């Protein structure tokens, strides 16, 4: 999984949200447009090739108002992009958008 593959999946609409991701998106008031922008313009800051659910990664970027947003995504069995969770990184877990606390 690499950022170019992620971008191509978002641009072609070949992605899906898990129920958890949708709940977190709504709780943090993150727009779908913002998530798409993070995945197209952001950067992979952590890679999880050994994830028991399948290869996944953490993408960091910024929302419409410059608010940092993290998106954890993986690959479905059908080779589409699965958005596993989304959140706004905050203390104490995150010192800044790219550095764990």
pLDDT tens column, 12-62 = 999 999 999 999 999 999 999 999 999 999 999 999 999 888 899 999 999
* d(C-alpha 14, C-alpha 23), whole Å: 20
Domain that holds residue 13: 3-92
Number of domains the chain is built from: 1
- pTM of the entire predicted model: 0.94
Secondary structure (3-state) at 63: coil
Residue 100 belongs to a domain: no
Contacts (Cβ under 8 Å, ≥6 apart) of 49: 55
Is the dihedral angle over the CA atoms 35, 41, 45, 51 positive or is it negative?
positive
pLDDT band at 77 (very low <50, low <70, confident <90, very high): confident
Single out the residue of 70, 74, 64, 61 nearest to residue 89, CA to CA.
Answer: 70
Residue 74 belongs to a domain: yes
């Amino acid at each position: 999984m690499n950022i170019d593959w992620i971008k191509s999946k978002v641009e072609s609409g070949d992605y899906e949200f898990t129920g958890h991701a949708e709940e977190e998106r709504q709780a943090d008031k993150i727009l779908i447009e913002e998530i798409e922008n993070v995945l197209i313009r952001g950067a992979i800051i952590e890679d999880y090739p050994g994830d028991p659910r399948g290869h996944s990664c953490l993408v960091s970027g910024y929302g419409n108002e410059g608010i940092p947003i993290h998106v954890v995504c993986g690959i479905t069995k059908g080779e589409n992009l699965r958005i596993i969770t989304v959140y706004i990184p905050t203390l104490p877990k995150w010192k800044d958008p790219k550095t764990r606390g």
